[in-house]
Amino acid sequence: MRRALTLLPLVLASVLVATPEHALASSAPKKDDKAKAVTYFAFKPLTAVALRRDGRRGVLTLEAGIEAKDAKLMERAQQSEPRLRAAFAQVLMTYASGMRRGDAPDIDYLSREMQKTADKVLGKSGSRVLLGSALLN
């Protein structure tokens, strides 16, 4: 019995090696399947200087991304990524400079302001600004 169990991995490995390649690749995408359109992309984390509870300077870090179901709007958003990132950073820096010491970041406010900014930069509405996490270090 023990000998059969020690040989089991060798038997399974030999079966996998001997199996035709096309039988193992059944989960691979087919050639006639069209690639799905990209509907989301994330920015590198945005940062701004804020005052911490103890009065020292800290860093407010925010993760953000854009979602757009419309392919043309998504293409425009990807092409406008540097402008969007700069505009989002400006919103975050303005917000962080007015934060009271010890307050947690107001994600709802940041979400609304960044959505307004994204609509202005892209020229029309239809995209969604999605926020990940906000950390004050």
- Cα separation, 90 vs 88, whole angstroms: 5
pLDDT at 32: 43
- Cα separation, 66 vs 82, whole angstroms: 13
pLDDT at 93: 96
Whether the pLDDT of residue 28 is over 60: the answer is: no
Whether the pLDDT of residue 10 is over 80: the answer is: no
Give Cβ neighbours of residue 125 (< 8 Å, ≥ 6 apart). 119
Query: Averaged over 76-88, what is the pLDDT?
Result: 96
More confident residue, 5 or 58: 58
Q: By percentage, how much of the chain surpasses pLDDT 70?
A: 74
pLDDT at 101: 86
pLDDT band with cut points at 50, 70 and 90 for residue 36: confident
Strands (E), the chain: 40-42, 46-51, 57-68, 127-136
Note the pLDDT tens digit of each residue in 95-120. Answer: 999 998 888 899 999 999 999 999 99
Whether the pLDDT of residue 33 is over 70: the answer is: no
Sign (positive or negative) of CA dihedral 98, 84, 136, 50: negative
Query: Averaged over 19-39, what is the pLDDT?
Result: 59
40-136 CATH choice from 2.30.30.60, 3.30.479.30, 2.60.40.1080, 3.20.10.10? 3.30.479.30
pLDDT at 51: 87
Encoded tokens for 106 = 């107001």
